């Protein structure tokens, strides 16, 4: 990794990854409130990297560098076909685990009863979760709602 102030995180660390910049705002606010309640400073807190859509070379290199010390990457994308494609693309470059991005998470959001747009377009698979078949269950997409409201 080129010198940019980022260093490999040690084993046991977690790198949270999202594809939607809106998530950065929501998660940063939530984590700031948690730190305030705990009385801790912002230094050494959680790590969040946003791909802002399809991960480019810079994002991939940053993630590889950060994870180089054994840190675990956890990804969350939008619950739509594009989100699944971004997740699949990222998995070709960086090993990650789902971060509130499983069939169980998806179905929990559907159960809350709020209206959501229907999934449209060409379906995409989710090989990280065998319970999530392609195409997804014939249901509305909760892509406009974010599951980290309880982070």
CA distance 47 to 63: 11
Tally of structural domains, the chain: 1
pLDDT at 143: 47
pLDDT at 147: 44
pLDDT at 94: 96
Please check whether residue 5 lies inside any domain of the structure.
Answer: no
Helical (H) or strand (E) element with 11: none
pLDDT at 116: 62
Residuewise pLDDT in 10s, the chain (151 residues): 454 567 899 999 999 999 999 888 988 888 888 888 877 765 667 899 999 999 999 999 999 999 999 999 999 998 888 888 999 999 999 999 999 898 888 878 778 775 566 777 787 878 888 777 644 554 444 444 444 443 4
Please check whether residue 146 lies inside any domain of the structure.
Answer: yes
Please check whether residue 66 lies inside any domain of the structure.
Answer: yes
Please check whether residue 4 lies inside any domain of the structure.
Answer: no
**Residue-wise DSSP of 36-78:** HHHT--STT--EEEE--SS--HHHHHHHHHHHTTBPEEEEE--
Please check whether residue 6 lies inside any domain of the structure.
Answer: no
pLDDT at 44: 66
Please check whether residue 110 lies inside any domain of the structure.
Answer: yes
CATH code assigned at 84: 3.40.1360
Domain extent, residue 50, equals 14-150
With 0.85 as the threshold, say if the pTM is over it.
no
CA distance 125 to 135: 7
Please check whether residue 3 lies inside any domain of the structure.
Answer: no
Please check whether residue 44 lies inside any domain of the structure.
Answer: yes
In 3-state terms, what secondary structure has residue 35? helix
pLDDT at 14: 95
């Amino acid at each position: 990794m080129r010198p940019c102030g980022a260093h490999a995180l040690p084993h046991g660390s977690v790198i949270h990854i999202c594809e939607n910049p809106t998530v950065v705002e929501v998660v940063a606010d939530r984590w700031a409130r948690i730190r305030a309640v705990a009385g801790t400073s912002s230094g050494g807190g959680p790590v969040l990297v946003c791909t802002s859509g399809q991960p480019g070379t810079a994002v991939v290199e940053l993630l590889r560098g950060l994870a180089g010390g054994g840190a675990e990457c956890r990804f969350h994308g939008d619950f739509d076909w594009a989100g699944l494609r971004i997740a699949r693309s990222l998995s070709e470059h960086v090993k990650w685990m789902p971060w509130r991005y499983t069939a169980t998470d998806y179905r929990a959001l559907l159960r809350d009863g709020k209206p959501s747009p229907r999934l449209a377009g060409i379906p995409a698979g989710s090989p990280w979760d065998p319970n999530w078949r392609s195409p997804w269950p014939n249901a509305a997409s909760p892509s406009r709602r974010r599951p980290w409201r309880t982070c």
